Amino acid sequence: MKEKLHQLKLKYQGKKMAPAFNAIHTFLYSPNETTHSGSHIRAVDDLKRTMNTVIMALVPCLLFGIFNAGYQHYSAINGFPENFSVLEHFITWDNFWIGAITVLPLVIVSYGVGLAIEFVFAVIKGHEVEEGYLVTGMLVPLIVPVDTPLWMLAVAVAFGVVIGKEVFGGTGMNILNPALTIRAFLFFAYPTWMSGDKVWVHEAVERAGTADAISGETILGYLAQGNTADMTEKYDIAEMFFGFIPGSVGETSTFLILLGGLFLIFTKIASWRIMVSAVIGSLVMGLIFNGIVDAEWIPEYSKFYGLMQFDFWQHLIVGGLAFGIVYMATDPVTGSQTYKGKWIYGFLIGFLSVMIRVFNPGYPEGVFLAILLMNVFAPTIDHYVVQGNVRRRMKRLKNATILPKPSDGKTEQLKVETV
């Protein structure tokens, strides 16, 4: 097998389809390339391993999302079970089946369309197929509502991969996070499919207006409508934290996201600086809003009141904030690249996410907009951080000891070229 593939690789070398073949080849076997200059030895990590680690951190969220799709569907029909037990009501074949027929097609379409475009671009431009989409393709199904029509997802993926990434030159060159570009495209192109109280539960849209109508709105949606009643009537804190609530496929379980985040920090793949500062940022903004409510600067009938009075720390366990912070704000390509920059970048993501969440009139969620906005500003942040280093160097320059050359002072002799 190894020999055969090697012969095939030599045969395809220089041909147009070589990148496509190599992508499959290097998937099976890490390549036989050796160093030529500089460091003759190299560490074991490569981009495939890096991306694979992120995918591993996402798998629990995907599995949870599959079961939750079924759980939310049946709960919307039959009501939430009393004396909820995970094994009895959540991890069941019925739930899994609903999840399998709704979530897995999203994953397949996301990977199929995205990777097809990656292969086509690699063949056209003659570079290797890059691994960036392995993570994007996994993120996309996790950040859309469960019933997103597949054609819609396909269109969005095509847009996101081509406009969000390939036009800039592929993985590593893009300005905006491709997964969020896809999410933003869906949001602005098909808003009715992305918000409201019908999209978060499987079959809710089809059943609308019939006798069997079901619905399930997100906690944020509930609050945005000015409902200030204590959320614990609807969901308790544990349910929110563990994720038995409606929402995009993979974003609901803060617990699993937390585990994934810790895994990414432990493996040193994602930046803990961004995660920590984003959490701080969102808590600060939440506290400010809580403070405004406490100071009674805002009347209860204000449409922002519901979200503003929401306990500041609970912002982290509902909606997509935690998911965005752990898996998308930490995207190294579109985020800040310097340590100091990462602190500022993360803080502003958390801060703006909660702000947009509260003030967004149409859709009570802000994390994807906040990250996209900060993607745009990340180079600016880095610029000023790096300028700090440059200024330090400039300051040092004032005390530079520039010594006279030995030839100074002597009469300059004309040198005649001799051969």
Partner 1 sequence: MSKDIRIKKGLNINLVGAAEQTTSKAVSSNVYALNLDDFHGITPKMLVKEGAELKAGEPIFYNKNIEEMLFVSPVSGELVEIVRGARRRILTLKILADKEQSYQDAKTIDLEKADADLVRKTLLQSGCWPFIKQRPYDIVANPDATPKAIFVSAHATAPLAADVEYVLNGKEVELQAAITALGKMTPGKIHVSVGNTGSSVFSTIDGVTLHKVSGPHPSGLVGTQINKIDPINKGETVWTVSPQDLVIIGEFLLTGKFNAERTIALAGSSVKSPKYYTTKIGTEISTFLYASGVTEDKFRLINGDVLTGAITHPEGYLGFYNNTVTAIPEGDDYEFFGWNKPVFNKISSTRALTFSWLSKNKKYDLDTNTNGEHRAFVVTGRYEEVFPLDIYPLQLLKACMVKDLDEMEQLGLYEVAPEDFSLTEFICISKQPHQQIIREGLDLMYQEIG
Q: Which of residues 1-30 bind partner 1 (CB under 8 A)?
A: 2, 5-6, 26-30
Min dist. Cβ of residue 127 to partner 1 (A): 9
Residue from the set 32, 78, 83, 411 that interacts with partner 1 by CB under 8 A: 32
Pick between residue 232 and residue 389 the one whose CB is nearest to partner 1: 389
Burial of 3 (0-12, 13-18, 19+ CB in 10 A): exposed
Query: Between 199 and 325, whose beta carbon lies closer to partner 1?
Result: 325
Tell me the CA distances in angstroms from 246 to 27, 39, 202, 216, 393, one per residue in order. 36, 51, 10, 6, 53
Binding mask 101-120 for partner 1 (x = CB under 8 A): --------------------
Site for partner 1 in 45-74 (CB under 8 A): 45-50, 52-53
CA distance 52 to 73: 31
Q: Number of residues in contact with partner 1, rule: CB under 8 A?
A: 74
Of 240-269, binders to partner 1 (CB under 8 A) are: 266-269
Quote the least distance from Cβ 130 to partner 1, whole Å: 6
- Taking contact as CB under 8 A, which single stretch among the options 38-46, 77-85, 203-211, 301-309 is the one that binds partner 1? 38-46
Cβ proximity of 319 and 365 under 8 Å: yes
**Smallest distance from partner 1 to CB 339, Å:** 7
Question: Whats the size of the chain, residue-wise?
Answer: 419
Given candidates 83, 192, 210, 407, which one binds partner 1 under the rule CB under 8 A? 407
What DSSP line would sit under 234-300, residue for residue?
A: TS-HHHHHHT-S-SSTTTS-HHHHHHHHHHHHHTT-S-HHHHHHHHHHHHHHHHHHHHHHHTT-S-T
Residue (of 319, 416, 329) closest to 372 by Cα position = 329
Rule CB under 8 A: choose which of 66, 71, 114, 131 binds partner 1.
Answer: 131
Interacting residue with partner 1 among 301, 396, 411, 414 (CB under 8 A): 396
Q: Does 271 bind partner 1 (CB under 8 A)?
A: yes
Would you give the DSSP letter of residue 324?
I
Out of 82, 403, 409, 414, which residue is the one contacting partner 1 (CB under 8 A)? 403
Angstrom distance (rounded) from CA 181 to CA 164: 6
Contacts of 214 (CB under 8 A, 6+ apart): 73, 76, 77, 201, 203, 204, 207
Task: Rule CB under 8 A: say whether 132 interacts with partner 1.
Answer: yes
- Tell me which residue has tokens 């009347």: 299
Would you say 148 or 330 has its CB closer to partner 1?
330
Query: Among residues 165 and 202, whose Cβ is nearest to partner 1?
Result: 165
Is residue 171 part of the contact set for partner 1 (CB under 8 A)?
A: yes
CB of 344 to partner 1, least distance (A): 14
Q: Is 411 in the site for partner 1 (CB under 8 A)?
A: no
The answer to whether 61 and 250 have CB atoms below 8 angstroms apart is yes
Among 77, 108, 229, 390, binds partner 1 (CB under 8 A): 390
Q: Which of these ranges, 282-290, 321-329, 359-367, 384-392, lies near partner 1 under the rule CB under 8 A?
A: 384-392
Q: How far is the CB of 108 from partner 1 (least distance, A)?
A: 21
- CA dihedral (241, 242, 244, 246) in degrees, to 10, reads 50
Interface residue with partner 1, options 114, 137, 160, 170 (CB under 8 A): 170
Mask for 310-339, x = binds partner 1 (CB under 8 A): ----------------------xx-xxxxx
- Contact by Cβ (8 Å): 330, 270: yes
Residue type (1 letter), 103 = V
> b vs e for 45-78, b when ≥16 Cβ sit within 10 Å of the residue's Cβ?
eeeeebbebbeebbebbbbbbbbbbbbbbbbbee
Give least dist CB 320 to partner 1, A: 24
Please give the Cα distance from 240 to 248 (Å, whole number): 13
Question: Is 414 an interacting residue with respect to partner 1 (CB under 8 A)?
Answer: no
Among 87, 295, 397, 414, binds partner 1 (CB under 8 A): 397
